[in-house]
Chains A and B, each alone.
Chain A
């Protein structure tokens, strides 16, 4: 069982702060919370929303409809009122609001109760600043959810305690006033309203409430990344903000570059020197970085590029989500070379795949592109504290031992006969024979060599790394719904429906499968490693599945195209979405049922 609530308003009105405060309170009360933000590309005004889906079991998706709608202004009443479910509640702050006749009828039919909160009057009465409206509204929401004022006070104390007793006292007064406001009415609506929080599960209390960007930042820190360079671009900016905010604690070198080319070059220079460095951007910025990516390939420089997708082309829908850059990641940059493309799916991946990305980059001495999207970057996940012992540092064929360094010859650096094309790498400053990290085609020591023989040797050397990567890349992971539970399967069972997807769709697909429960044997095959592309397992599964459907947030079905490109099977059935919104759980469920 799950419920959802949505806060709407103009940007800058406090939508996010109410969403975050409620999320924190609910998690601490023992719920899994999934937060989803919608907003426009502007600072003030517009129409934005923060939706929280709440459950006692794990969820990572949103519903199209909500149990409670909180509106800061009339736009929410106009646009979002009909998203409220039967017996739901609308809490608003617009005096003398009148719905249209059509709206009024629907709301009545659904038994939806509208509550007007005269927040301005209440604040005036309390002589409180307008900013305190956030706490006031939150307290009413909190009371509507049947929670206690003390829980909210605890949060406020924690958040504003440092601002002094006066501020805290004023906040407390607002909370009390919010509860008092509902006091007279609460009995009545409690009976009428269908809004009930599910049974809580205390195991959620010690979880983290974290966005994908924050998780990725922590993951980078965990991976031993010591320099991060970026240029602001949604949805990669929150990662830059988080990791920059952490610099005084982590000692990391953070550089907001003058452009994405600089960001990519600085990351590459730092990696070449021998630290771990990363850069992040979105599609447009990534386009600018691609020449550098190609350079990293030929100089065999480990490099990590984070590509946070949003809908294009061009500026497109800057604050919305998409998965339209998969083929860009795989096909970007001139020339043929080995690269690895992986994608995170949630806050767990955002952390775990960071050390993994660096390990792959250093092992194969080649660029790694880590894909994410606006949905993951800005969604709020309820996340188990991270395992600190899982990741291992693998720096590949990096020579640092002084004796081994002395034995190196310049020509070892790009030795075409190296096993799997992975030749020894050593760092500038090492007491050893020197070499040139050469952007022109070169021979062993990095001297320019335009001979046909050398060109073949070196191209083959670098492409051997692709073969090795192919060999070592894990197959996609299959999760099967059995006995009403989702479980990872290492077999290839016969299925009624096989769902294939990648990236942020994972959470919503899992949630959709959970609630499906229609007696069908359903499985979900999730691709984390997208290039090199593995298709063997998919082929086996497809042969045994009655139906296979591809789910993606793009127009072309790019994962399907990539699978075909790699000689894999064709997935004919596709559920594609390209309106800038992620899949919602109820929406996807209907589509899957229609396709099964």
Chain B
């Protein structure tokens, strides 16, 4: 399958073009995701200076200097709280966070839990390649049980974490899935995620030709399909969950679930109701004399 780099929005997409050369392996899924992110941003009319892209540590994190826009490349596993803190400070700026399956389901799994639970108004993109690529192919909690990997020659003893079941158990307000070879699909779900009111969880099944020999590009191409094209509407939680979980024959991609009636974390903050400014704009020396009376 050829990756359609020219999507018809090249003029705007080029605003995100960065002179640094990509360093991913041949056939890495990051090329496709990188392209789809640029395309989704430009098709959402977001200029490079109008977004904060936050990257975790892992192969995907090497996108941080291969794309323009305000970017952040942080610590392993910790991208969600950083992105959330940034967003709360300036809710007007779209904030996207990117993390791998190692960062999101092992090191920083707590942040994913509370990110979804808090419904922070950010987009989270899971680069799900089923292993720790950058550290040369160790098993993640999403690697198939029994699969021999670097540091687990007999396969990991633990059972594989059912990531989608886990995510749905947290009552998310947005869940989408795509795979790294389908730029159109990724663009579609990323745009929907960017426009979502609360925390948007986007699972991108990503080819890792170097270390993941079980869910390869051709395997994903064969199994993934556009579930929305087949008539699935993202308003049914149970149906969406069932679709997300059943990957035995086919893998449902597209916007699986979305509800817009849930206020985001920021909208729930009582002190911020009817507040027209952002925390970024409010920095000044504040007179506290009136609040000192209670101590008199």
A residues near B65, Cβ cutoff 8 Å? 436, 438, 442, 445-448
**Chain A residues with CB below 8 A from B74, complex form:** 265, 295, 299, 439
Q: Tell me the bound Cα distance from A251 to B62 in angstroms.
A: 38
Let me know if B73 and A439 touch, CB within 8 A: yes
Contact status of A210 and B92, CB under 8 A, knowing A247-B270, A395-B283, A437-B73: no
**Cα distance A206–B51 in the bound complex, in angstroms:** 50
Contact B271 A432 (CB under 8 A): no
Please measure, in the bound complex, the distance between the C-alpha atom of A221 and the C-alpha atom of B49, giving whole angstroms. 30
What per-residue 1/0 map shows which CB atoms of B84-113 lie under 8 Å from chain A?
Answer: 111111101100000000000000001101
Q: CB-CB contacts of A422-435 with B at 8 A, as 1s and 0s?
A: 00000111111011
Query: Given A430-B49, A434-B69, A266–B81 Cβ distance below 8 Å?
Result: yes
| Set of chain A residues within 8 Å of B83, measured between Cβ atoms | 269
Question: Is the Cβ of A292 less than 8 Å from the Cβ of B78?
Answer: yes
Interface members, chain B 65-85 (any A CB < 8 Å):
65, 68-75, 78, 81-85
- Please, which residues of chain B bring their CB within 8 A of the CB of A451? none
Residues of A within 8 A of B278 (CB): 275
A253 and B86: CB pair below 8 A?
no
Partner of A265, one of B50, B82, B283, B295: B82
Asked whether A273 lies within 8 Å of B271 as measured between CB atoms, the reply is no
Bound-complex Cα distance A439 to B289 (A): 41
Is A541 part of the binding interface, using a Cβ–Cβ cutoff of 8 Å? no
Q: Confirm or deny: B272 has a beta carbon within 8 angstroms of a beta carbon on chain A.
A: yes
CB under 8 Å from chain A, chain B span 239-253:
none
Across the interface, do A210 and B295 meet the contact criterion of CB distance under 8 Å? yes
What CA separation (Å) do A537 and B295 show in the bound complex? 38
Q: In the complex, what residues of B have CB within 8 A of residue A292's CB?
A: 75, 78
Nearest-Cβ distance from residue B198 to partner chain A, whole angstroms: 16
Cβ–Cβ contact A270 & B279, under 8 A:
yes
Give Cα distance in the complex from A587 to B289, angstroms: 37
- Does A192 sit within 8 A of B, measured CB to CB? no
Kindly identify, within residues 258 to 286 of chain B, every residue whose CB is under 8 Å from any CB belonging to chain A: 269-272, 275, 278-280, 282-286
Segment 222-277 of A: residues with Cβ below 8 Å from B: 222-224, 226-227, 229, 246-255, 257-259, 261-263, 265-277
Pair A275/B283 contact, Cβ less than 8 Å: yes
Tell me the complex Cα distance, A262–B78, Å: 8
Contact of B84 among A269, A392, A395, A434 (CB under 8 A): A269
Judge whether A434 and B68 touch: CB under 8 Å. yes
> Measured between C-beta atoms, what is the minimum distance from A267 to chain B in Å?
6
- Stretch of A314-322, A383-391, A465-473, A515-523 that contacts chain B: A383-391
Q: Does A57 contact B (CB under 8 A)?
A: no
> Which chain A residues in 162-216 approach chain B with CB under 8 Å?
206-210, 214
Contact B285 A429 (CB under 8 A): no
- Closest partner residue, chain A, to B48 (CB atom): A434
Residues from chain A with a CB closer than 8 A to the CB of B292 are 208, 218, 385-386
In whole angstroms, what is the CA distance A268 to B72 when docked? Answer: 11
Q: Which 6 A-B pairs have the closest CB atoms?
A: A269-B85, A266-B85, A265-B81, A428-B70, A269-B86, A208-B295
Q: Is the CB of A275 within 8 A of B90?
A: yes
A161 to B110 Cα, complex, angstroms: 45
Q: Are A253 and B279 in contact (CB under 8 A)?
A: yes
A506 CA to B200 CA, complexed, in Å: 51
Whether B75 lies near A291 (C-beta < 8 A) is yes
Q: From A208, A255, A262, give the contact of B296 (CB < 8 A).
A: A208
Interface of A toward B, CB cutoff 8 Å: 206-210, 214, 218, 221-224, 226-227, 229, 246-255, 257-259, 261-263, 265-277, 291-292, 295, 299, 355, 383, 385-386, 388, 391-393, 395, 427-432, 434-440, 442, 445-448
Contact status B289-A388, CB under 8 Å: yes
Known: A218-B288, A437-B71, A447-B20. Is A227-B89 also a contact (CB below 8 A)?
A: yes
List 20 extra interface pairs beyond A253-B279, A258-B111, A273-B280, CB under 8 A. Answer: A224-B283, A224-B285, A248-B271, A253-B88, A254-B271, A258-B114, A265-B81, A266-B84, A269-B72, A270-B279, A273-B87, A274-B89, A292-B75, A428-B90, A429-B52, A429-B92, A431-B49, A434-B49, A434-B68, A439-B74
B26 within 8 Å of A (CB atoms): no
- Residues in B whose Cβ lies below 8 Å from that of A267: 85
Decide yes or no whether B224 CB sits under 8 A from chain A. no
Number of B interface residues, CB 8 Å?
A: 56
Complex contact A272–B72 (CB within 8 A): yes
Q: Are B81 and A262 in contact (CB under 8 A)?
A: yes
Is B183 interfacial (CB-CB < 8 Å)? no
Residues of A within 8 A of B57 (CB): 439
Whether B64 is near chain A, meaning CB under 8 Å from some CB there, is yes
Q: Are B272 and A251 in contact (CB under 8 A)?
A: yes
A135 to chain B, nearest CB (A): 20
CA A400 – CA B28 in complex, angstroms? 39
A268 nearest CB neighbor, chain B only = B82
Partner of B49, one of A388, A429, A438: A429
User: In the complex, A440 Cα to B272 Cα: how many Å?
Assistant: 35
Min distance, Cβ B289 to any Cβ of chain A, angstroms:
6
11 intermolecular pairs with C-beta atoms under 8 Å apart: A208-B295, A253-B269, A262-B114, A269-B84, A273-B86, A273-B89, A275-B283, A428-B51, A429-B49, A440-B73, A446-B71
B52 touches A273 (CB 8 A): yes
Q: A221-B288, A391-B285 are in contact. Are A269 and B64 (CB under 8 A)?
A: no
Task: Return chain A residues, CB-CB under 8 Å to B283.
Answer: 224, 226, 274-276, 393, 395
Cα of A428 to Cα of B278 in the assembled complex, Å: 13
Residues of A within 8 A of B114 (CB): 257-258, 262
Are the C-beta atoms of B84 and A258 separated by less than 8 Å?
Answer: no
Q: Is the CB of A248 within 8 A of B296?
A: no
Q: Assuming the A-B contacts A258-B111, A261-B78, are A273 and B49 also in contact, with contact meaning beta carbons closer than 8 angstroms in the complex?
A: no
Q: Say whether B230 faces chain A, with CB atoms less than 8 Å apart.
A: no
With contacts A295-B74, A428-B90 known, is A275 near B291, CB below 8 A? no
> Is B111 in contact with A262, judged by CB distance below 8 angstroms?
yes
Cβ-closest chain B residue relative to A259: B110
A227 and B86 alpha carbons, distance in the complex (Å): 10
Is the CB–CB distance between A273 and B270 below 8 Å? no
> Closest approach, in angstroms, between the C-beta of A310 and any C-beta of chain B?
24
B142 → A minimal CB distance (Å): 22
Quick one: closest A residue to B287, CB to CB? A388
Q: Is the pair A429, B70 in contact by a Cβ cutoff of 8 Å?
A: yes
**Chain B residue at minimal CB-CB distance from A252:** B271
- Assess whether B71 is in contact with A435, with CB atoms less than 8 Å apart: yes
Min C-beta distance of A208 to chain B, whole Å: 4
Assess the B295–A209 pair: CB atoms within 8 A: yes
By a CB distance below 8 angstroms, the chain A residues around B72 are: 269, 272, 299, 436-437
Contact A253 to B271, CB < 8 A, known contacts A436-B65, A447-B65? yes
Contact between A248 and B270, CB atoms less than 8 A apart: yes
Q: Give the chain B neighbours of A430 by CB distance below 8 A.
A: 49
Given known A258-B114, A270-B88, A442-B65, contact A218–B291 (CB-CB < 8 A): yes
For B90, the chain A residues whose CB sits under 8 A away are 273-275, 428-429
Q: With the chains together, A129 CA to B48 CA distance in Å?
A: 65
**Chain B residues positioned under 8 Å from A214 (CB to CB):** 295
Which B residues are in CB contact (< 8 Å) with A392?
A: 285
CB closest chain-B residue, reference A429:
B93
Is A253 a contact partner of B272 (Cβ separation < 8 A)?
A: yes
Given contacts A246-B291, A436-B65, contact A258 B48 (CB under 8 A): no
Contact yes or no, B288 A251, CB < 8 A: no
Chain A residues, Cβ within 8 Å of B75: 265, 291-292, 295, 439
* B78 and A265 contact, CB distance less than 8 A: yes
Instruction: For A279, give the chain B residue with the smallest CB separation.
Output: B85
- B269 contacts across to A, CB distance below 8 A: 253
A258: chain B residues at CB < 8 Å are 110-111, 113-114
Chain A contacts for B92, CB-based, 8 A? 429
The reply to whether B271 and A266 form a contact with Cβ atoms under 8 Å apart is: no
